[in-house]
Amino acid sequence: MTTHIYFDLDGTLTDPYVGITKCILYALDKLGFPHPGDDYLHSCIGPPLWDTFPEMVGEELTGQAVDLYRERFVEVGWRENVPYDGILDALEAIARAGHTLFVATSKPHQQARRIVDHFGMGRFMQHVYGSELDGTRSKKSELLEYAIGQNPGATTHIMIGDRKHDLVGALANEMRPIGVSWGYGSVAELASSGAAAIAHAPADLPGLVT
């Protein structure tokens, strides 16, 4: 049996809160918009920027806001990620068990690859899938459909993520959805979105994917 396992990046492999929120606030400052509260910023971790910025700046300015966000992100924001404790050990154990690992994130694939390699996760990943800069394949269901199509031959597909978008995207592509509770979605969000299992620490993952 061949198992392909797709991992979300933000909130699953790394904690991106500092980098993402500082880049959002940078874009809002440049455009002259007020800062949202911490709870709202917390909710911005996971969904595509193309979905969250319209709520803050309107549809017309969303493209400009995304460009400004990326202006800071490519300089410093990408380095403000922090890998979750134990995640490298979990990836090593899963890879050693013979599974094929991928990243599937709504973040642009160029940025995602840079982060994955910088924090030593690239050696475990067959490929890093992400959106294009214009927002193409920023929806998780579309991204996973594309990634699966690029990697035929697996008998089992698993998606691991911390938000409902990951699990809904997995179910849309007939994948087994596994949630992680250390990210930015609550256990209730994951359960109501169809999680087949929920990991409460990275050490739980190797057992859940076998």
Q: What is the pLDDT of residues 136-187, one digit of tens each?
A: 998 999 999 999 999 999 999 999 999 999 999 999 999 999 999 999 999 9
Judged by phi (left if over 0) then psi (alpha if -120 to 50, else beta), residue 132 lies in: beta
Percent of the chain, pLDDT > 90?
91
- Residue 31: pLDDT band (50, 70, 90) is very high
The answer to whether the CB of 17 falls within 8 A of the CB of 113 is: no
> Does the structure show a pLDDT above 80 at 56?
yes
The answer to whether the CB of 104 falls within 8 A of the CB of 71 is: no
pLDDT for 48 equals: 86
Token pair 């700046």 is at which residue?
57
> Does the structure show a pLDDT above 90 at 4?
yes
> Does the structure show a pLDDT above 90 at 133?
no
> Does the structure show a pLDDT above 80 at 63?
yes
127 token code pair: 């490929």
Dihedral sign for Cα atoms in the order 208, 114, 140, 104:
negative
Catalytic residue among 8, 15, 162, 166: 8
pLDDT for 82 equals: 94
Question: Once rounded to an integer, what is the mean pLDDT over residues 90-109?
Answer: 96
Catalytic residue status for 15: no
Token pair 């994955």 is at which residue?
116
User: What rounded mean pLDDT belongs to the chain?
Assistant: 95
Percent of the chain, pLDDT > 70?
100
Q: How far are the Cα atoms of 49, 77, 113, 132, 141 from residue 74, in angstroms, in the given order?
A: 15, 6, 12, 15, 26
For residue 85, count other CB atoms closer than 10 A to its CB: 12
The distance from CA 104 to its chain's CA centroid, rounded to whole angstroms, is: 6
CA 168/CA 202 separation, integer angstroms: 21
pLDDT for 46 equals: 79
CA 127/CA 72 separation, integer angstroms: 25
pLDDT for 45 equals: 86
